[in-house]
Chains A and B, each alone.
Chain A
Amino acid sequence: MRLTTKIAAVLSVSVMALTACASEDSEPSATDSGSGATSAESDVKVGMAYDVGGRGDQSFNDSAAAGLDQAIEEFGMTSEEAEAEDGEDEAAREERLRTFADGGYDPVIAVGFAYAAALTKVSAEYPDVHFAIIDDESIDADNVADLVFAEEQGSFLVGAAAALKSETGNIGFVGGVEVPLIQKFEAGYIAGAKAVNPDVEIQSTYLTQPPDFSGFGDPAKGKTAAEGMFDEGADIVYHAAGGSGGGVFEAAADSGNLAIGVDSDQYNTADPAVQDVILTSMLKNVNVAVYEYLSQVNDGTFPSGVTRYDLSVDGVGYSTSGGQVDDIAAKLDEYKQQIIDGTITVPTTP
């Protein structure tokens, strides 16, 4: 009797757990057209090719996914997603794009500059399919939209914020991987800091060198690098290191210093334990780029050529969550206006 009760209990619990899993799984995929009656219907099938990490990386890919989700929600598009593997070859990236194109997905969005070479090839093979690539402007084709960001402008503002807030006159920059894209962050950050205080001391380092891209996903490396900077007298460190940034926040929290986040408003996504050390975040609104691209697609036009998301269209910016930069917001907005007006030109290489 007791045994049967036990078995029944176990069974019912496991059944409940399983059904819970099933319903949870089906929700976030959102591949089927909109759930409610409010959402519109659309026969656009979006193919989304993520970079390494894919949806759920709390960083770059997730930001792109957020833009896609918003478009799906509003326009009732359908989508399918695939992600890159670490260390894969060109053929694999090309094949991912071709599989989407063959499967009737139009447009196909390639997330990340790693797809540049592959997309150059594939976009020529499928002239009738429309593509978009994020973070690369090397492809000049009628069926390719290059969505790029003025990372240096956003970095300029957080660099200025760091110099304004620093008490030691010593700040740091931690880049994930030393590629030209991340050097743009560094260049803008340095320029911004120097604009405020020409004598500011800036420590700068990169976690790894290409072709080793582990610097974008190794919090331990980020922590070691930031600890070194804090030991050398820095009191604010800006990271452009994707998933490694968590280590930078930890190092800041352990030593009672501050850090600056990147890509998304990391005050909202970081571990609550390190939330207070996040002075601000350099916002790179990949979601805005993806959403706006898809909204144009929804209107029936496929953009092509380079679209640059800069300060003037709020493609980049700085976050104010946590209120730590409220006192200098006026000063930062002044710089922002000067950059938009063209009085300040931000360099893209350090």
Chain B
Amino acid sequence: MNIRLQRAVLALSVPVLALVLSVLVISLVLFLADDPIGAVWQVLRTAPAERNWANIIDKTTIYYLSGIAVAIGFRMNLFNIGVEGQFLVAALMAAFVAGEAWLPGYLNTGVAIIAAMVAGGLYAGIAGVLRAYRGVSEVISTIMLNAVAVGLTAFITRELAKSATQSNVSVVQTKLIPEESWIPNISIGDGPASEIYGFVVIAVVAGFVYWFMINRTRFGFDLRATGQSLTAAVASGINVKRMTVVAMMISGAFAGLVGLPYIFGEYHSYGSTFPAGLGFTGIAVALIGRNHPIGVALGALLFAFLDEQSNKLQIDAGVSPEIVKIMQGTILLMVVISSEVVRRYGLRLEQQHVARVLAQRDPASPPAEGVEGAERVKGVDGDGTHAATTLPATPGAVRDADDQPEEAPL
């Protein structure tokens, strides 16, 4: 069979397999919980109304930014769990700068966005520096920095709120951003409920910047090379310590954008009702999207869709909101499992193909250099160290290896 066609079929089978498995597992869970299986799928199959689409797009925007922030870290083998804390710090920074309104109109907005990215970047940079120069695992430090961020932002918000005019006694919040600095919502239908955040445009740009940076720049190449193999990166002259700090800071800068659609499109201030947990959803979304700019968008869309159905599932189907969380978790697991299963199956097919070709050529002679797929066969044999040390010798080899996860779109 044609190798390319085979690859395409395999790539397509990942989402199909994941979907089928997810439906089966979720139905089983619903059955065990004595919930109405039919009603649940009925609600999920119902097309969302216009205003629900608006909510889904808004949520997708936010999850996408969060997913991209996490994906940057993943590309360098950095597990940035701290997106949660980074986005809180950055959102507060943006609300503060924009609320003070030192500059007029959109200049104010622009400065606030940059301030947020800098705040997020610096906050993530703490973990980066600790990792690079003190060997502290970024998983531990970012989790702890999350807790610090929650306390810190709460404290600062309360201090800032003292000087802000309170419109609502039950909510503690920073000064309202002047209306001229809001990012206008885009209408996709009738009424105010059918408007989406104007920030969606910035999210798309961020996605493009991510793709360009990773795939088309020297920096992106260094980043991926370091992620693939530390020793090889050092051998080819990459300053790994600097890369760790910079990658962490860029991840944090993207994380800084996560809360901004809310700040500029809806809340217009940072306060006690500001949403939380977006950074953790980003991890799931990045995993589902396999760190690919389009894949992450699809993952974000899926999670946003399920979130939006949560109320309908409770009210129309009568199941508890935890069912949605179980669905999201199940889908995440099934995507990871099926892409791994399909990858292994694909490798075995390729291995057999190579073996066949070699057998046809000359059964007696050892495998020749440069036969297509030979490099991968080595990898499959579990000879990880060997593959890793030979990989970055040529740029092409790194790209080839790195393309692998990208070939499994959702």
Contacts and interface: CB of A to CB of B under 8 A. Distances in A.
A and B from one assembly? yes
Interface of A: 21-22, 25, 29, 31, 47, 80-83, 85-92, 94-96, 98-100, 103, 113-114, 116-117, 121, 125, 135-136, 138, 178-181, 208-213
B170 A95 contact: no
Nearest to A55: B320
Contact of A85 (B151, B316, B318, B321): B321
B205 interface: no
Interface in B259-306: 262, 266-267, 271-277
Contacts of B310: 85, 92
Given A85-B321, A121-B192, A210-B272, 6 more contacts: A83-B320, A90-B273, A95-B311, A135-B170, A138-B168, A211-B153
Contacts of A22: 34
Contacts of A87: 275-277
Contact of A212 (B150, B171, B266, B316): B150
Given A25-B34, A95-B311, A180 B169 contact: yes
B275 A98 contact: no
Contact of B58 (A91, A98, A103, A135): A91
Interface stretch (B105-113, B154-162, B216-224): B154-162
B308 interface: yes
B154 A212 contact: yes
A91 B51 CA distance: 10
Interface of B: 34, 51-52, 55, 58-59, 150-151, 153-155, 157-158, 168-172, 191-193, 262, 266-267, 271-277, 307-308, 310-312, 314-316, 318, 320-321
A95 B55 contact: yes
Contacts of A209: 151, 154-155, 157-158
B59 A212 contact: no
B273 A117 contact: yes
Contacts of A114: 273
The 7 A-B residue pairs whose C-beta atoms are closest, nearest first, are A210-B272, A87-B276, A209-B154, A82-B314, A89-B275, A87-B277, A113-B170
User: Main SS of chain B's interface residues?
Assistant: helix
Contacts, number: 108
A116 B168 contact: yes
Contacts of B170: 113, 116, 135-136, 138, 179-181
Nearest to A96: B311
B34 A21 contact: yes
Contacts of B191: 125
Contacts of B311: 82, 92, 95-96, 99
Contact of A98 (B34, B193, B320): B193
Nearest to A21: B34
A179 B307 contact: no
Given A86-B277, A90-B266, A91-B58, A103 B315 contact: yes
Given A22-B34, A210-B154, A212-B154, A100 B55 contact: no
Given A21-B34, A90-B267, A103 B150 contact: no
A138 B169 contact: yes
A22 B44 CA distance: 24
A212 B151 contact: yes
Contacts of A113: 170
B96 to A, nearest CB: 15
A100 B273 CA distance: 22
26 contacts: A29-B318, A31-B318, A80-B318, A82-B321, A85-B310, A86-B276, A86-B277, A87-B275, A90-B267, A92-B311, A95-B51, A98-B193, A116-B170, A125-B191, A125-B193, A178-B158, A180-B170, A208-B154, A210-B158, A210-B172, A210-B272, A211-B150, A211-B153, A211-B271, A211-B273, A212-B151
Contacts of A47: 315
Given A125-B193, A208-B154, A211-B153, A117 B168 contact: yes
Nearest to A90: B266
B168 A179 contact: no
Contacts of B155: 209
A73 B388 CA distance: 70
Contacts of A180: 169-170, 172
A139 B272 CA distance: 18
A99 B158 CA distance: 34
A162 to B, nearest CB: 26
